[in-house]
Amino acid sequence: MAKTMKIGVADQARLHELAAGRYWSEADGRAALAAFEASGLTRAAFRRETGITPQRLKWWRQRLGATTESIGKIEFVPVEVAPRSAGVEDATMELVLSEIRVRVGPGFDPGALRRLLEVLAEPAC
């Protein structure tokens, strides 16, 4: 089901100015991403409202990486590890972080997994 929240007239005018501009500053990219997240609209609906393409939003999301507050932050949460029962030797875990999927099989190296998660939590260059 598509979301239908509207964008204010003043914000819409500013976003139309951004859409028409060829070059954006980092502040412009952050503003557009924040407006998109706050709007509650789908990418297609946001484009219809503002003229900003989904490709441009995606590019800025990738460029700003985890430093963009509107995207959210990676947080570690406590988990409870249950004792291993018979027949789970071939079980795997799957971690999904936004567009990144990590599958961890039996016999994994906890240190290597920790280093991988630290690298994924770092902001993109």
Query: What's the average model confidence in pLDDT over 48-70?
Result: 78
pTM: 0.46
With H, G, I as helix, E, B as strand and everything else as coil, classify residue 102: strand
> Residue 1: CB partners within 8 Å, gap ≥ 6?
none
Q: Is pLDDT above 80 for 104?
A: yes
Residue pLDDT, tens place only, 68-89: 444 455 677 788 887 766 555 5
CA pair distance 18, 23, nearest whole angstrom: 9
Asked whether 119 and 66 are in contact (CB, 8 A), the reply is no
Phi, psi values for residue 37, rounded to 5°:
-60, -45
CA pair distance 58, 65, nearest whole angstrom: 10
Asked whether 91 and 106 are in contact (CB, 8 A), the reply is yes
